[in-house]
Structure 1
């Protein structure tokens, strides 16, 4: 099997699961994963024969794709904010909308120095690593309730040569959070999908990504926003800001919650797709 025929084989094997363009994108990712060659190099060497090991890995990758496993979990990597990050089933796959949240914070932090930032529910570490990359003189901390997630985040920090202080903490446990210092900015992309919404989600999300990082009870969709907002009122410095990524259906509710807890100038912002996705509030 040559590089060219392998590419065609992948697109044909997953053609019923994805449209033509997405199938081709996935095939390119798999082929780079198998060969270590760029798209241009694969065109130049399209008649190169796959090794027995590459053929076996190709077979395993196609079987995983046909089970709806996200390609990022197959390759073990995902791109975020110009960084190739490690991912596995202990962490959510970073998404482009979250890059917009980071960019909002970076813009707000322009011309400010020695900021202390905290990310709550860090997962792969994508948010704090992107912040540290853009704001090198900032002190960046991050917490997560999952030791498996923190292992991934620490590995990513080492690979990117970025210093972030990662700690094992439960965002819903006030006693654990009480020991945190004060911060200029706090950010969180917490679980925000209600369990009833699971039925409308693609299986490649809920079937493989960690449910701990995805779902909240139907009867308490604002669970994490409430706990984190209360904590932020005591852990933010005066003039500090709290940022959230949100469920697109809960924008007004999150704004109302933050205003009721004393945040000022609460702002709801849409993402690149025109959906309510981010909220910011200032501590007076």
Structure 2
């Protein structure tokens, strides 16, 4: 079958589940990943065809997409901050909002390209934050911790594949009494979705991404932030920076939390969708 003809069929079959634009984007993602063909290649050669074996593979993709399995899990990878990352059911799929957090840290620490700094990423998942920072701040010594051993294994592979040196460790931050060394930067994108917000979550996220990395109890939504901030009070160097990705509905609560813990230079920022999404602050130990 001609690929161009199959493209029309593919998009039509997914129409009950996705809009045409998203279905088309899936088609070209699979085409490039499985056949090394781009949209321009198909436009320039209308006679390109799929074999019966190819069609069987594509049928498998269609069946999974109709179940709303994330395309990133089906392909086994995604792109984040210009780098390729392995993703699987043990790690969250990195979001564009988290790229904004990484960009903020890099811009705030451009001197890190020539100055030695030490960074800790808490709840590292796929390692996307830690690895992106290590890649763009080459003199940074970067560490990542996670409560999931399988996530740590994924992060280690991603570090190797992206040719960076990051130390990943298994650690439950809620059971941690003190950080073992002092850092210039601590960053975290911890679980922050309340159970009451589950109805807002799309099926492809709710059914397939790890709940361990997503959800917190409605009655204590800031549990991870409070714990990490407490550890950062002693675990950050003087003038050290703390960065969080946060629940869009809890920006004011996060600001109040950090103010009460006597952090300085608190800054709340919105993401590309105009939601309160990230916050930073500093410790000052010489007051």
For the aligned pair, the TM-score class normalised by the smaller chain equals over 0.9
Contact 1:248 1:277 in 2 (8 A): yes
Contact 2:146 2:171 in 1 (8 A): yes
- How far off its partner does 1:63 sit? 0.6
RMSD, matched Cα: 1.2
Task: Give the whole-Å Cα distance in 1 for the aligned partners of 2:37 and 2:171.
Answer: 40
Aligned to 1:117: 119
SS in 2 for 1:237: strand
Task: Give the whole-Å Cα distance in 1 for the aligned partners of 2:246 and 2:234.
Answer: 22
- How far off its partner does 1:19 sit? 1.6
Task: Give the whole-Å Cα distance in 1 for the aligned partners of 2:263 and 2:172.
Answer: 23
Aligned to 2:149: 147
Aligned to 2:269: 269
Runs of 4+ in 1 over 6 A off after TM superposition: none
Aligned to 1:61: 61
Ranges in structure 2 where 5+ consecutive residues have no aligned partner: none
Aligned to 2:235: 235
Contact 2:179 2:235 in 1 (8 A): no
SS in 2 for 1:49: coil
- How far off its partner does 1:179 sit? 4.9
- How far off its partner does 1:55 sit? 1.6
Task: Give the whole-Å Cα distance in 2 for the aligned partners of 1:46 and 1:140.
Answer: 48
Contact 2:116 2:139 in 1 (8 A): yes
Contact 1:76 1:86 in 2 (8 A): yes
Aligned to 1:52: 52
Aligned to 2:133: 131
Ranges in structure 1 where 5+ consecutive residues have no aligned partner: none
Task: Give the whole-Å Cα distance in 1 for the aligned partners of 2:160 and 2:42.
Answer: 30
Contact 2:65 2:71 in 1 (8 A): yes
Aligned to 1:37: 37
With the length of structure 2 as denominator, give the TM-score of the two structures: 0.95
- How far off its partner does 1:266 sit? 1.0
Task: Give the whole-Å Cα distance in 1 for the aligned partners of 2:125 and 2:10.
Answer: 30
Aligned to 2:169: 167
Task: Give the whole-Å Cα distance in 2 for the aligned partners of 1:154 and 1:10.
Answer: 35
Residues 29-78 of structure 1: CA deviation (Å, up to 9, x unaligned)? 12223312222223334423223332222111101110011111111111
SS in 2 for 1:248: coil
With the length of structure 1 as denominator, give the TM-score of the two structures: 0.96
Task: Give the whole-Å Cα distance in 1 for the aligned partners of 2:270 and 2:167.
Answer: 30
Task: Give the whole-Å Cα distance in 1 for the aligned partners of 2:42 and 2:132.
Answer: 31
Structure 1 residues 32-41 or 116-125, which shifts more?
32-41
